[in-house]
Structure 1
Amino acid sequence: MTADTTETAAVEYGVHVRYEGDDDPEKCTARKLASFDLAELHRSDRATPYGVVLNPHADRALSPADADASNVVALDCSWESAGEAMFSLPGEHRALPYLVAGNPVNFGRPMQLTTVEALAAALCIFGREDRAEELLSKFTWGHTFLELNEEPLRRYADCADSAEVVEIQQEYLDRE
């Protein structure tokens, strides 16, 4: 495999964001990713490609079993408008397991991730740590997210399916 082929394989795994535009544009992690061509923003559900949709209201947890999807999709909107109705995107909806935020606004808070943190978490669970690091490298605090969640991300990535992820997640929830 040549270097060009390896690069193309990494690019083929699509990182997509259904972009609402209701947050401060200066603080929007999705916009920053798009400015570096690391994610594609979509203004409508219809324009958003099919893939694994990161949805906190989903019935199943994200696991390595979902890694064969060609796209990972996040919804970028304010926490106030992130109700269940907002997640009408086409795709396989999966909830991220227990993780804590590394971003300065929600540092240390469970499940209060930015869009880039959610996407990076999914990529880590899919065994694509290199891609997750690439996304997070554009943020001064990006490495903090990976450091805070190093153990759970590694453990989730070692799971076979959603049920195993939920079992491990329960250990972290029991500690809370």
Structure 2
Amino acid sequence: MELHVRYEGDDDPEKCTARKLARFGLAELHRSTPATPPGIVLNPFAERALSPADADAERLIALDCSWETAQEEAFDLDGPQRSLPFLVAGNPVNYGTPFQLNTVEAFAGALWILGESAQAEEILSKFRWGETFLDLNAEPLRRYADCADSAEVLDVQDDYLVD
């Protein structure tokens, strides 16, 4: 699956997972919204959750920006908007924090849910903490990937949010 990033460039370039993916040829960066191709937009503000029902997509789009500046308007990109369900960060900056994923974690979680686990593992392999993300989220990712649609994904997510 193609991975594209609407790149804002407002974070530390040394810690930017989108830039590292691009250096390895695993994602393409775009500096403007019009230059970003359409695809499933990973948007934490979207009302509909990503699910295996979205697996026929050709590309995933992520917005790489600081969490401090992320606003709903920034995700005005072409394509169906989908939120990721409950997952926790495995990266050193936001370790263990729910819903605060960096770009590679968002892509990996989405790929796993869409049945592209080998690609998820490949992109995470470029980061020393990449396997940690999969270890922390092994059960929910497996359960989300077994769902039929967004409603089922939200039902599974509720199991994690209740605790």
Aligned residue pair count: 163
Q: Which amino acid aligns with 2:117?
A: E
Question: Which portions of structure 1, spanning 4 or more consecutive aligned residues, are displaced by more than 2 angstroms?
Answer: none
Structure 1 residue 152: Cα displacement: 0.2
Aligned to 1:150: 138
Aligned to 2:13: 25
- State the Cα RMSD in Å: 0.5
From 27, 31, 45, the counterpart of 1:39: 27
Aligned to 2:81: 93
> 2-side partners of 1:144 and 1:54: how far apart?
21
Give identity over the alignment, percent. 70
Q: Which amino acid aligns with 2:31?
A: R
Per-residue deviation, residues 135-162 of structure 1 (Å, max 9, x unmatched): 0000000000000000000000000000
> 2-side partners of 1:105 and 1:28: how far apart?
11
Given the alignment of the two structures, is residue 170 of structure 1 paired with residue 150 of structure 2, yes or no?
A: no
Aligned to 2:50: 62
TM-score by length of 1: 0.92
Structure 1 residue 21: Cα displacement: 0.3
Structure 1 runs not aligned, ≥5 long: 1-12
Structure 2 runs not aligned, ≥5 long: none
Structure 1 residue 102: Cα displacement: 0.2
1:77-92 matches, within 5 Å, as 77-92=65-80
> 2-side partners of 1:105 and 1:52: how far apart?
26
> 1-side partners of 2:37 and 2:59: how far apart?
7
Q: Describe the SS at the equivalent of 1:15.
A: strand
User: Rg bigger for which structure?
Assistant: 1
Q: Describe the SS at the equivalent of 2:11.
A: coil
Query: Between Structure 1 and Structure 2, which shows a larger proportion of helix residues?
Result: 1
Per-residue deviation, residues 121-145 of structure 1 (Å, max 9, x unmatched): 0000011110000000000000000
> 2-side partners of 1:154 and 1:49: how far apart?
29
> 1-side partners of 2:38 and 2:75: how far apart?
13
From 115, 118, 122, the counterpart of 1:127: 115
